[in-house]
Structure 1
């Protein structure tokens, strides 16, 4: 009889252990599968690289949903200032990131400089122009020059720096057409709507319809830096920080290098 009672007690205890283990396992599975949605606002020049990185990241974090929002750095920064729900901001200039940091809209300890780039002058692939330097933009055959809108597009700001460096700004002012972002400028050159355009070397690299006519000297413009960081209002700060950290991983670095970015 005592043996029977002991047997019943053992069975009951084992049942409780298995039940608790089952509950813990279920709880872990539920925690593991909790979905996280992140919105990433990134400079337009990052579109090709970030789209590829998105695929790689989702393989490592399958429960994460990434929404990529591309545009000029200035416009994206303004959206964040106006309350747009953004988790991560990646700019093509330190200026726009600093604007948000000064407004206390970024988690400062998450902001880091990720990439560098070059400014280049491109012309349509079938162009017969013999231009090989920025100062030749004053030549009569060049009637339309595409650049990013200088007040909101970093590459437009860098373009103005280069024009001032060569002291040609006043001479080419009437030729300049401002685009909403670097990709629009690239499209204008590809379609022949402008005779030349100022873009990043990474943009020129992914296009089969343009050719590089000249590379701007490094000392002709402000240093190009792409910083990234977590927006302070993010509702998923931990996951957002993990994504920013991933941008410096070996996998992400390989993608950025493939597209011609300099790793900082």
Structure 2
């Protein structure tokens, strides 16, 4: 009888011990999964709108972490061609996206024309410049322009000035810039008397004004194509973000920053 009581006590001890271990295991905090890191190469003119959209998206999708690489579309194209780790490209020009498509670097079915924009002439807030014709005047000594070969805004600017028969007349005044935001900075700081930028950049500018918009037929249509890069390792996650950028919610943000959405 005494042995039986000892045996039951032993069983009770083992049961309680195991229950305690199980309780401790349940109390152990679970390791949180690392977020999926997405890298998006985007035209410099997108940075203000893109920053807000990133914050909005990450609040709803904590499982992803978005990093932007902003620059002129030409250098971004070259980086992707050279193997840079990029999940999505948003260009400010069709030419750069076409080049990547020709080399088989895009998921072709993911390509869409996300946005459009307007090319405008800007000057300092106190400038007396009244239009494109005034660029030839003595008061305008320097004009900021994106380098046409690598900056889509610069390419559109060259087309517009050529169409207006001003390109050859203004050669000595042109100051090339590495991207459209640098053109904006030139005008904001007074390093140039005028500049050609997108309307979305002008809205973000300080102490500047829009003098005139380039005639729509003076340059090719301004397009912002978006596509996923074929080498992405996160096709589902980056595809979900691409869908968000085409949503009405994202469209309202883009429009707030001066872009024209594709409806």
Query: SS at 1:167's partner residue?
Result: coil
**Superposition map of 1:82-121 within 5 A:** 82-121=82-121
- C-alpha separation in 1, matches of 2:105 and 2:134: 42
Instruction: Give the Å deviation of 1:217.
Output: 0.8
- C-alpha separation in 2, matches of 1:135 and 1:162: 12
Query: SS at 1:126's partner residue?
Result: coil
Query: Alpha-carbon deviations, 1:179-209, whole Å to 9, x = none?
Result: 0001111000000000000000011011231
Partner of 2:63: 63
Instruction: Give the Å deviation of 1:135.
Output: 2.5
Partner of 1:50: 50
Partner of 2:194: 196
Partner of 1:159: 157
- C-alpha separation in 2, matches of 1:135 and 1:165: 12
Partner of 1:214: 212
Alignment equivalent of 1:186, drawn from 184, 205, 225: 184
Alignment equivalent of 1:232, drawn from 225, 230, 233: 230
- C-alpha separation in 1, matches of 2:184 and 2:205: 8
Q: Which moved more, 1:135-144 or 1:78-87?
A: 135-144
**Superposition map of 1:9-88 within 5 A:** 33=33, 35-88=35-88
Q: Which has the larger radius of gyration?
A: 2
Aligned residues of 1:229 and 1:241 also touching (Cα < 8 A) = no
**Superposition map of 1:126-141 within 5 A:** 126-127=126-127, 129=128, 131-141=129-139
Query: Alpha-carbon deviations, 1:113-158, whole Å to 9, x = none?
Result: 110000000001122x2x2222321112111000001011000000
Query: Alpha-carbon deviations, 1:203-250, whole Å to 9, x = none?
Result: 101123110111101101110010111001111111111111110112
Query: Alpha-carbon deviations, 1:8-56, whole Å to 9, x = none?
Result: xxxxxxxxxxxxxxxxxxxxx98x9452100010000000000000000
- C-alpha separation in 1, matches of 2:218 and 2:81: 31
Query: SS at 1:83's partner residue?
Result: coil
CA RMSD across the alignment: 1.9
Q: TM-score, normalised by structure 2?
A: 0.86
Aligned residues of 1:58 and 1:64 also touching (Cα < 8 A) = yes
Stretches of structure 2 that go unaligned for 5 or more consecutive residues are 1-29
Query: SS at 1:232's partner residue?
Result: coil
Partner of 2:255: 257
Q: TM-score, normalised by structure 1?
A: 0.86
Stretches of structure 1 that go unaligned for 5 or more consecutive residues are 1-28
- C-alpha separation in 1, matches of 2:104 and 2:60: 31
